[in-house]
Structure 1
Amino acid sequence: MKNTAKPTVLIAGGGVAGLTAALAFANKGFSVCLFDKAAEFSEVGAGLQLAPNATRLLQRLGVMEKLSPSAVTPQALLLKDGKSAKTLTSMSLDAAVHRWGAPYVVCHRADLQSALLSTCQNNPDITIRLGCEAVQFQEHTNLISLTVRHNGLDEQFDGALLLGCDGVWSKLRHPLPAPEFSGHIAWRLSVEKADLPQSFLQAINQQTAVSAWLGADRHFIAYPVKAGSAYNFVAITRGQVSDKSWDKIGDHQKLKAEYQKWHPAIRDIIALNKQWTYWPLFQMAEPHFVVSNRFVLLGDASHAVTPFAAQGAAMAIEDAFSLAEHLPLNQNFWPQALKSYNVTRLKRIQSVAKRGAFNKFAYNASGPIALARNLVFKMRSPERLLSDLDWLYAYKADQRSE
C-alpha cells in the first residue's frame, strides 16, 4: 500500500459508492486501498440518472470531464400518460446548471464506473486490488483488520477505517437485518437509437428527454445513453421473486401482458427485443450507516432504496463525499464526527425515501387519484414543479452541516 504514514481507509466494493469514496478520501489526504471481488471491471449494469446533487460532486473529483463524452444532457423531463401518450407536464432541464449549480445528465452505469476508475488509477494515494473478496473483519483498539480472499487464499489488511460498499447483499453488513423484497420488478433493456420505432420517437417529439410514462400499478422510463447513440428503458411492475438474485432474462410474454393496453409507442419498444433483464428490487427497512467508530456502510449496503426518485447512485455519491467531509485526518475527533455524519445522512436518506414513495404513488395511480394528479399537473406550472425539487437537487453533501 502507498503512503502508509497516512491514515489508511480500506474499502470493500468497487462500485459507485466505493470508487467515489476512494477519490473523496484520497483528496482529503488519506491513503486508500480498495478491494473488489471481480477479476476485472466489466461493461455491466444499466442506465443511470445523475441529478445535479450528484454531478456537482463528480465535477469536484474531476470525474465529469471523463464522463461527459458518453453522457447525455437531456433537454427536458416529460411526464406522459401511458395509454394515450399525452404529455401531462414538461419540465425544462436546460437551466439546471443555473438553478442547481450543476447539470442533470443520464448515462450508462458502466461509463460512470469507467470514469471513476480512470480517475482513481491516476491518484497515487489509491491502490485497487481486483479478484479480492472481503469476507470478514475484526476491530482492534487502534485499527481494523479486513480479511480478503484471493485465489482461494486469505490475506489480512489493516487500516484505520473500513467502508462497506459491497452492495445490497453485503457480506460485511451481517448480522444487521437483511434487505427486503419491495414487491416490484425493474425490467431493463438498452436499444440502439437507429433501431427505435418511429412511434416512440414521435411520442417524445424527437426530443432528447427523460420520459416517465405513468399508469395504474406500473410505469415506464426512457432516456438516451452512450452519447445519445442508445436508449435505456426501464419498466417497473409488480412481481415476485424466488431468490435474491437479479439480472436474469425475464418472461417476455408476461412483460408484454403488463403493457398490452398501453400506447403503441411503449408496446413497440417492448416488442423490439425478448431479452429484457428481470431485476427484483430490494430495499432496506432501516438504513444503517455508522456501525462502529471504524466501520461504516455506504450506498446500497447501507440503505438500498427503490428507484422511484432516481437517486440511487446519487445517494451513494453523497454518502462518500459527506463521510470524507466529516472525518479529519486526526482520529481523535472521529467518534463525534461519525455521530454527526450518521445524523446528517439518516435525515437525508429518509427525505429522499419519502420522495420516492410519493413518486411511486403518483406514477402508479389510477381512477380518481390519477385524474386528480393530472389536474395538479395541468394547474401547476413547470416552474413550480421544478421548485419542488430544489431541496433535492441543490443539496450540497460536501458541506458539513452542524
Structure 2
Amino acid sequence: MASGDGLRVIIVGAGIGGLSCAIACRQANPPLHVTVLERAPDILTIGAGIHIPPNACRILTNLGLLDKLSAAGGYEIEDFTLRRYEDGKVLAEKPLKGRMEKEYHAKWISIHRGDYQNVLLDAAVDAGADVITNAEVTGVVESTEGPQTAILKDGRRFEADVVIGADGLWSHMRETILQRPFSPKETGDLAYRGTFTREQLLALNNERINKLVDQTNVQVWMGPNRHAVFYPLRNHTEYNLVLIVADDLPEGVRTSPGTVEELAANFVGWDPMLSDIITCLKTSLKWKLLHFESLDQWTRGTMALLGDASHPTLPYQGQGAAMAVEDGAILGALFSKWQALPTTPSLTRSDKNKQLASLLTFYQELRQQRTKTNVAGAVGTRHYYHLVDGPEQEERDRFLAALMKTDWQGPCPFNWADAEYQRSLLGFDVCDDAEARFKVWAATI
C-alpha cells in the first residue's frame, strides 16, 4: 500500500491521463494514497506516435519526467510543415524547436505512445502508487457519511475518499456519474495508422523520401476532405503515418480491417512521394473517429472524470492526451492545497465529503471552457486541413505565406496559424491559474 497520510484516491484507468494524475497525487504534500485500477490484464504499451505539446510538456517537466521522456526516445520537433496535396509543395513551415520554449516556456516533443505510457507507468509506481491490473470497475457505492467504494467485476472492493474516472472514450465511470448511457458521436472521419522502419523507406530508393527521413519535422499533406501526417519516432529508426479519410464504415462499427489498395485509392492524384510511402504498409486497419462536443456534468459527489472520459476530441491539434495531462495535474494540485487548509484535519466525515464534492465541482469549472475550446478548435482545424480547391483554400494559403514572414505573430482564420489562439492553447499555465483561483474557492467554504 502506498505510504503517506493524505487523501485516498482511486483512479479508474491507467492511460496517459490516469497515470499523470497518479503521479501528481503522489507528489502532493503529504502524498495521497493512490490506487489505479486498470481493467486490462496487462498494461500493453501499444500505439504509434503521439505529440506532447508545450502545455503538457511544461507539466511533465515540473513532475520531473522530461529527462525520462527524452531517454525513452522523445525528441524535440524542429518544424511543422504543411504541404499541398497534389505535389507536396510546402505551403508553410512553422519553426517549433527553440521558438516553443521562447514563446510558451516548454518544448514540443514527439514520442511513441507506448514509450510515453511506459515512462508514466514506471514513474507512478516509483512514486508509490498501487497499480492493479485485471481490475474492471463495474460500479461505485456512494456515501455522504463514509468513504466511496469501487466495486470490481470479480467482487473485490476498494475504498477511497475520491474516485476519478480516467477510463477513456468508452468510459463506464461517465455513465456512473451521469446515471445514464452517454456514448460518443461519430464525426464522419476515420483514420488509418501505420509505422515503418527506416530501412523500409530507404528501400524505396526515392530521393525525396531519402531527404525526408532525416528531417525532424511533422509533415502534413492537406487536401480535399482528407489529410496525411508523417513524422519520425525512436531516433529516426521508425516513422509514423496517419491518414484521415471520410468514414465509410456502417454506423456503430468502430474498427474494421481494410486493404492497402483501398487505402491507396483514397490518395490517387496526391503527391507521388506520399503514394510511395503508403506502399510500405502491409496491412491496414480503419479506426472510426469519435468525440462529443460538450459534457456539462463531470462530477457527482466525490467522483469526477478526466481526459477522454469527459472531453474526447478529434486528434487534429495534438491535444487529446495533453488535456488529460492537464486534468490530472490540476487534480493533484487541488487535492494538495485542500489538505493544507488549516480546517481540513478537524472536519467530520460528512463535512469532508461536502468539501471534496465542492472541490471537484470547482475542478470542473476550471476545465470545462478550455476543453470545450480545444474540442471546437480541433473541428476547426479539420475544416482548414480538408478544404477543397477554391477561394477559401486560396485565402488560407495566402494567410500562411504572409504569416511566415511575420514569425507567426499575426491573426489568421485558421487557428493553427493564429498567434493569439496558439498562445492561449500552448502558453497558458493551467496549474498557476488553478492555484490562484483556488484561493478564491477556499474563501467560500
TM range (shorter): over 0.9
Distance 1:187 1:199, change over 3 A: farther
What CA distance in whole angstroms lies between the structure 1 residues aligned with 2:333 and 2:45?
Answer: 31
Q: Could you state the TM-score of these two structures normalised by the residue count of structure 1? A: 0.93
Q: How far 1:300 sits from its partner (Å)?
A: 0.8
The counterpart of 2:425, out of the listed 386, 392, 396, is 392
Q: Could you state the TM-score of these two structures normalised by the residue count of structure 2? A: 0.85
Counterpart residue number, 2:284 = 276
Runs ≥4 residues deviating over 6 A: none
Aligned ranges 1:191-230 → 2 under 5 Å: 191-196=196-201, 197=204, 198=206, 201=209, 204=212, 206-230=214-238
Greater Cα offset, 167-176 or 48-57: 167-176
Q: How far 1:203 sits from its partner (Å)?
A: 7.0
SS at 1:18 equivalent: helix
SS at 2:270 equivalent: coil
What CA distance in whole angstroms lies between the structure 2 residues aligned with 1:294 and 1:373?
Answer: 46
Greater Cα offset, 164-173 or 235-244: 235-244
Q: How far 1:94 sits from its partner (Å)?
A: 1.7
Counterpart residue number, 1:121 = 125
Q: How far 1:192 sits from its partner (Å)?
A: 0.9
Q: How far 1:243 sits from its partner (Å)?
A: 6.4
- 1:376 equivalent in alignment to 2:399: yes
- 1:347 equivalent in alignment to 2:350: no
SS at 2:173 equivalent: coil
SS at 2:137 equivalent: strand
Counterpart residue number, 1:85 = 88
Distance 1:62 1:247, change over 3 A: farther
- Whether contact under 8 Å (1:212, 1:220) holds in the other structure is yes
The counterpart of 1:316, out of the listed 314, 324, 327, is 324
Q: How far 1:140 sits from its partner (Å)?
A: 0.5
Aligned ranges 1:22-33 → 2 under 5 Å: 22-28=22-28, 29-33=31-35
- CA displacement, residues 251-296 of structure 1 (integer Å, 9 cap, x when unaligned): 3222111101101111111111131232111102323563213111
Q: Of Structure 1 and Structure 2, which has the larger fraction of its residues in strand? A: 1
What CA distance in whole angstroms lies between the structure 1 residues aligned with 2:374 and 2:261?
Answer: 34
Counterpart residue number, 2:97 = 94
SS at 1:383 equivalent: coil
Q: How far 1:387 sits from its partner (Å)?
A: 2.9
SS at 2:11 equivalent: strand
Aligned ranges 1:175-186 → 2 under 5 Å: 175-186=180-191
Counterpart residue number, 1:51 = 53
What CA distance in whole angstroms lies between the structure 2 residues aligned with 1:4 and 1:53?
Answer: 29
Aligned ranges 1:3-18 → 2 under 5 Å: 3=3, 5-18=5-18
Identity %: 25
What CA distance in whole angstroms lies between the structure 2 residues aligned with 1:39 and 1:131?
Answer: 4
Aligned amino acid, residue 371 of structure 1: E
Q: How far 1:386 sits from its partner (Å)?
A: 7.0
SS at 2:408 equivalent: helix
What CA distance in whole angstroms lies between the structure 2 residues aligned with 1:118 and 1:309?
Answer: 27
Aligned ranges 1:356-367 → 2 under 5 Å: 356-366=378-388, 367=390
What CA distance in whole angstroms lies between the structure 1 residues aligned with 2:151 and 2:363?
Answer: 26
What CA distance in whole angstroms lies between the structure 1 residues aligned with 2:249 and 2:363?
Answer: 35
Q: How far 1:25 sits from its partner (Å)?
A: 1.0
Aligned amino acid, residue 155 of structure 2: D
SS at 1:166 equivalent: coil
SS at 1:353 equivalent: helix
Distance 1:269 1:80, change over 3 A: same
What CA distance in whole angstroms lies between the structure 1 residues aligned with 2:74 and 2:382?
Answer: 26
- Whether contact under 8 Å (1:288, 1:303) holds in the other structure is no
Aligned length: 398
- 1:187 equivalent in alignment to 2:210: no
Distance 1:324 1:293, change over 3 A: farther
- CA displacement, residues 14-40 of structure 1 (integer Å, 9 cap, x when unaligned): 000110110111111211000112222
Distance 1:243 1:16, change over 3 A: farther
- Whether contact under 8 Å (1:85, 1:203) holds in the other structure is no
SS at 2:326 equivalent: helix
Aligned ranges 1:233-252 → 2 under 5 Å: 233-242=241-250, 246=254, 248-252=256-260
Q: How far 1:322 sits from its partner (Å)?
A: 1.6
Q: What are structure 1's unaligned runs of at least 5 residues?
A: none
Distance 1:200 1:335, change over 3 A: farther
The counterpart of 2:263, out of the listed 252, 255, 260, is 255
Counterpart residue number, 1:337 = 359
- Whether contact under 8 Å (2:213, 2:236) holds in the other structure is no
- 1:107 equivalent in alignment to 2:145: no
Q: How far 1:350 sits from its partner (Å)?
A: 1.5
- CA displacement, residues 288-313 of structure 1 (integer Å, 9 cap, x when unaligned): 56321311111111111111111111
- Whether contact under 8 Å (1:204, 1:211) holds in the other structure is no
What CA distance in whole angstroms lies between the structure 2 residues aligned with 1:123 and 1:363?
Answer: 41
Aligned amino acid, residue 88 of structure 1: L
What CA distance in whole angstroms lies between the structure 2 residues aligned with 1:368 and 1:263?
Answer: 22
